[in-house]
Amino acid sequence: MASRAAEFLNMKQQGEKFVVLTAYDAPTARIEVEAGVDIVMVGDSVGTNVLGYASEREVTLDDMAHHIAAVRRGAPDAYVIGDLPYATYESETQALASAALLVRAGADCVKFEGARPQIVQALKREGHDVCCHIGLESQHQQGKRRQGKTAEAAGTLLADALALDAAGMDFIVLELVPRELAATITKRLRAPTIGIGAGADCDSQVLVVHDLAALGTRDFKHNRRYGALADALREAVAAYARDVREGRFPAAENGFSMEPAELAAFEKSIA
């Protein structure tokens, strides 16, 4: 069966933008697809946004498989990219085993960080779609700092991107790199680019859904808040708590009663 990644390569070639957004559970994935998201990304950002971990490094393969499976159940027809967690692709053999687990869980494509063309080649030989990730690498760098700010650093990232493209990757995430560098990489690569904090010239954009919807406690320069779901949820929960404490919930319409004959029989039985 032909890889669905070809659909997005064709969009790049036609100059059409596509939309990527993270999701970590079934209802969020369903809503995203209904709203027009093209690719659902189950990132290792699940660790800091959902699981309460201190960093992405704590995310395990089992964590990723669990959340990929949930997303797949919520969006059975979506194209899903799943992250390979920290230290699960240190060799070709390990990367293949890790990728197979995520694909069994429901991923169409696996993503990893860093310039590792040999890992791309190994995964492609086994028929996997591959998304690479350069610039800010949360698994491998301390702090969320912009990358590629000097000519030398930008040149290194461009060379890395070209090497990964030559190895056969299907996508690449460019995170927190200058817009000029992202534009150059996008123009030079065959594979589509997915930008986050990398300017408007990438072939696609991705955000963390918790950032987009203001569900987290932090905001970032590369993000735009399109909603305030944390505020809405806080207000809803506070209203519920007040109604419970003051006896307004549940009301009559929130429950049901026994049929009179059954109630009479029950009361007789316990008299």
What residues are annotated to the active site?
A: 175
Sign (positive or negative) of CA dihedral 231, 233, 237, 242: positive
Sign (positive or negative) of CA dihedral 195, 198, 199, 203: negative
**Residues forming beta bridges with residue 18, ordered by sequence position:** 204
Token digits of residue 165: 């493209």
The SS3 assignment for 34 reads helix
Q: Which candidate, 85, 54, 69, 86, places its Cα nearest to that of 23?
A: 69
Tell me which amino acid residue 69 is: A
C-beta of residue 176 within 8 angstroms of C-beta of residue 145: yes
Distance CA 207, CA 219 (A): 12
